[in-house]
Amino acid sequence: MFLEVLGITVLWIFLLGYVIVASIDFGAGFFNAYSLVTNKNHILSGIIKRYLSPVWEITNVFFVFFFVGIVGFFPQTAYYYGTVLLVPASIALILLTLRGSYYAFESYSGVTGHKGYALMYGLAGLFIPASLSVVLTISEGGFVQLTEVGPQLDYNALFTSPLTWAIVVLSITAVLYISAVFLTWYAHYAGDNKAGMLMRKYALVTSLPLIVSAIGIIVEMRRTGNWHYANMVDLSWLFIVSGILFLATTALLWLKDKYGFAVLLMILQFATAFFAYGISHYPYLLYPYLTVHDSFTTTSMAIAIVIAFIAGLCLLIPSMYLVLKLFIFNKSYASGDEETHV
Amino acid sequence: MDQSAVFWSRALTELTLSFHILFATLGVGVPLMILIAQYVGYKKNDAHYTLMARRWARGFTITVAVGVVTGTVIGLQLSLLWPQFMELAGQIIALPLFMETFAFFFEAIFLGIYLYTWDRFQNPKHHMLLLIPVAIGASMSAVFITIVNAFMNAPRGFDLVGGELINIQPILAMFTPAMPTKIGHVLTSSYMTVAFILAAIAAYRLLRGEDHVYHKKALSLMMKLGIIFSLATALVGDFSAKYLAEYQPEKLAAAEWHFETEAGADLIFFGVLDGEEVKYEIRIPKVLSFLASNDFNAEVTGLNEFSEDEQPPLITHYFFDVMVSIGVLMIFVSFAFVFGKWRNWQWIHSRPFRWFIVLSGPLSLVAIEAGWWLAELGRQPWILYGIMRTADGATTATGVEWLFIAFAIVYFILAIGSIVVLRRMFKHNPVEKELAMREGGGV
């Protein structure tokens, strides 16, 4: 019991980490493309590039970590989700592959790319969260049938469900909002006020559809009398806390004050909502077939993974600190005064 | 069981892995070579070697990116294409898989730091030290992922009772009999391949008329390392054959077209098969027995001892031949070069020999592919040797053939993209130009 909850909590934290860092990455690609269209590229591209270059690979590892971890702790997820997600996850993988390699091709080769590629890159970044977020709809139940050959995904039901589209819209707006808030701070931190003000505008613009789609999901779940909804009501105070944090973040942006604090509040806002969502989903991984308990791996393997995990963190936390200190929280790097690329 | 889904799952896995291992091999070997070059540059205070490290690192950014994204693909495809296998094996191989991501994480962090801190440290030694975690992370991720593969070839660390796995011992499952030789062979062959690829690049620049001492130093350094790693690869390869003779005799028998169990078995090179009749082969008497157990008269189990539905495909023989011949050729090339340089033989600087060195880079990659196809096809029909057949592990979803086409297009784009970008990176920035710029005080 304790190990299952520990396992899913650890994975959920890593998924949150991926959602935040990947959103910054995906959103940055989109804003870069958008600024190309609106001829504001000269303002944004430098700051985006300086943030992304040293960390894009690390972002990718968060994702790998999550899907390896979930198969490790909950091997049955491989059977259910592996089978039903073949197509959506493959689409996401293809986009991730093209996006990741294109980024490296452009940023390391020193060749400035083609406008068309940059647009493709920006759009691909929005399709990835959209294609991955269908997992959230599927996990609510009702979209997977167990047949004689194995579990099968009912695409028709999935694509005609309003919940699917509400989650897709939420994932895209969340990506843009998280990225805009972060880059607003990062640009100001680097002393680039022009880029900072532009990103602040984008952050404020995207905050509205974000909150509308979040409320839309709750309304939709209530309408269908979803099992999950009742659990969410019990945890409504956490969602309210998240909403307050959201209002505080936008207020700081509006007042052009304390951008670093705004980023912190934004992360807390998503963390609260993310955990409230996760806790209310407990104990189901895939309703009604898969719970955290019956899909859990053997105790000896769980203990081994937890030990490996702790040992790994002892290596990773100091190294991550080093990265932050050298690049993200380093004024002369962020402002581009120093050019020390290989 | 839908046979078409099984076929296309195998095909897509093979496509992804065959593409990934080209970049993964570079990913394991290049960091070590960068570390060695930077160390030599630091010790000898020779700017040429430091520049070597820098230029290799720049090219490495491209190959590592493709390695990372295709590695992510195969990581997830394991669950997407082989859900039933992962459900079963996930209970046991989770630990090495998990540790592999840690090693990869560790490497990614320090590689990022290394790439973006050139000339930033007061003491160049500190910058060089960043390469140690990169090289360790790169090799350790190969070690852990090879442990997973070794487990599939020699599963243990659990009891199978009525289809249920019980008494799982995670550590024992990592230390399978197949593990030492697999890891040894993967690491040494990766280092060897990278040494020959970097040597091939240097030889090519010399052939194109860039008569700079930088290229000569690179060629010489890589050839010396080439001898060490190709000999090590051959040695571990010999241990691998002995492992097979004892634990997976049908794999060795299929690779050697050795049908009847006999003492003093011959080693067969090339040839074609006519029924069970081998024609046009080069036959080395009694060497297979020696390869299998260090004794020229030892008995070697033949393929006919196994029931037909447990025999691996006979095509593996050609992969075995290709791998071994290239390996032996590499030992000769590097040995001739280093010995010739010591004895001052002029022909090692001749154009034909240099072209031969150029060829050795791609040939090493061919050997890597052939070796993996031998290892993987050689354990058919099993996905988990002796426990689960490949056909029972595949997905039950339909439409895998469309994904195969889609991924094939993606890999084609990546291949073209990496070649174009790598060419552009170095074409307009020859060594002379970069050296002059740095000596002139530029960054």
Q: Give the model's confidence band at B442: pLDDT under 50 very low, under 70 low, under 90 confident, else very high.
A: very low
Helix (H) or strand (E) holding A151: strand A151-153
Measured between CA atoms, the residue of chain B closest to residue A56 is: B112
What angle, 0 to 180 degrees and rounded to 10, lies between the N-to-C axes of helices B351-377 and B316-342?
Answer: 150
Q: What percent of chain A is predicted at pLDDT more than 70?
A: 98
Looking at residue A268, what is its pLDDT?
A: 95
Q: How many CB pairs under 8 A join A and B?
A: 237
> Which DSSP state fits B383?
E
Say yes or no to pLDDT of B132 above 70. yes
Q: Which residues of B touch A83 (CB under 8 A)?
A: 83, 395-397
Q: Is the pLDDT of residue B378 over 60?
A: yes
Q: Is residue B120 part of a domain?
A: yes
Of B397 and B214, more confident: B214
pLDDT score for A292:
84
Q: What is the mean pLDDT of the segment spanning B46-75?
A: 91
The DSSP result for B392-430, as a single string, is: HHS---S-HHHHHHHHHHHHHHHHHHHHHHHHHHHHTS-
pLDDT, one tens digit per residue, over B169-221 is 888 889 999 999 999 999 999 999 999 999 999 999 999 887 788 899 999 99
In percent, the amount of chain A with pLDDT more than 90 equals 24
| End-to-end CA gap in chain A | 49
Interval B425-441 mean pLDDT:
77
pLDDT above 80 for A308? yes
Interface of A with B in 107-146 (CB under 8 A): 108-111
What pLDDT does residue A324 have?
A: 83
Supply the pLDDT for residue B228: 95
Of the candidates A61, A62, A68, which has an alpha carbon nearest to the alpha carbon of residue A82?
Answer: A68
| B25 has a pLDDT exceeding 90 | yes
Pick the residue with more confidence: A178 or A144?
Answer: A178
Backbone angles phi, psi at A158, to 5 degrees: -65, -45
In the predicted model, is pLDDT for residue A187 greater than 50? yes
Q: Which of A97, A298, A301 sits opposite B69 (nearest CB)?
A: A97
Q: Is B309 exposed, middle or buried (0-12, 13-18, 19+ CB in 10 A)?
A: exposed
* Mean pLDDT, chain A, whole residue set: 86
At A115, list the tokens.
């406008």
Cβ contact, residue pair B397, A326, below 8 Å: no
Euclidean distance between CA atoms A247 and A238, whole angstroms: 14
Residue B23: closest CA among B81, B77, B65? B65
In tens, the pLDDT along A221-246 reads 888 878 888 888 898 999 999 999 99
| Whether A97 and B92 lie within 8 Å, measured CB to CB | no
Out of A172-181, A265-274, B128-137, B307-316, which region has the weakest mean confidence (pLDDT)? Answer: B307-316
Residue A162 scores a pLDDT above 90: no
- Which residues in chain B are contacts of A318 at CB distance < 8 A? none
Looking at residue A220, what is its pLDDT? Answer: 87
Mean pLDDT confidence for A78-104: 88
pLDDT higher than 90, residue B284: no
Asked whether residue B325 is domain-assigned, the answer is yes
> What confidence score (pLDDT) does residue A338 get?
67
The residue ranges of every structural domain in chain A are 2-334
Contact, B118 vs B56, CB < 8 A? Answer: no
Residue numbers in A near B62 (CB within 8 A): 104-105, 108-109
What's the rounded mean pLDDT across residues A52-58?
Answer: 77
Give the pLDDT confidence of B355-377 residue by residue, as tens digits: 999 999 999 999 999 999 999 99
B319-339 tens-digit pLDDT: 999 999 999 999 999 999 999
Evaluate if residue A84 carries a pLDDT over 80.
Answer: yes
Q: Please list every residue in chain A whose beta carbon sits closer than 8 Å to the beta carbon of residue B102.
A: 308, 312, 315-316
Whether residue B293 is contained in a domain is answered as: no
Please indicate whether, in this complex, the C-beta atoms of A97 and B86 are within 8 angstroms of each other: no
If one compares B271 and B175, the residue with the highest pLDDT of the two is: B175
Whether residue B339 is contained in a domain is answered as yes
pLDDT at B384: 82
Task: Say how far apart CA B81 and CA B91 lie, in whole Å.
Answer: 17
Residue B54 confidence (pLDDT) above 70: yes
Looking at this predicted complex, what is its ipTM? 0.88
Considering only CB atoms, which chain A residues are within 8 Å of B88? 75
Residue B276 has pLDDT above 90, yes or no: no
B314: containing domain: 3-261+301-439
pLDDT at A28 over 70: yes
- pLDDT of residue A101 exceeding 60: yes
Please give the average per-residue pLDDT across A78-102, as a whole number: 89
Contact predicate B173/B217, CB 8 Å = no
Confidence of residue B160 (pLDDT cuts 50, 70, 90): confident
Q: Look at residue B327 and tell me if it is in a domain.
A: yes
Is A60 in contact with A104 (CB distance < 8 Å)? no
Counted domains in chain B: 1
Q: What pLDDT shows up at residue B191?
A: 96
Residue B443, pLDDT > 50, answer no
- As a three-state string, the secondary structure of A54-117 is CCHHHHHHHHHHHHHHHHHHCCHHHHHHHHHCHHHHHHHHHHHHHHHHHHHHHHHHCCCCCHHH
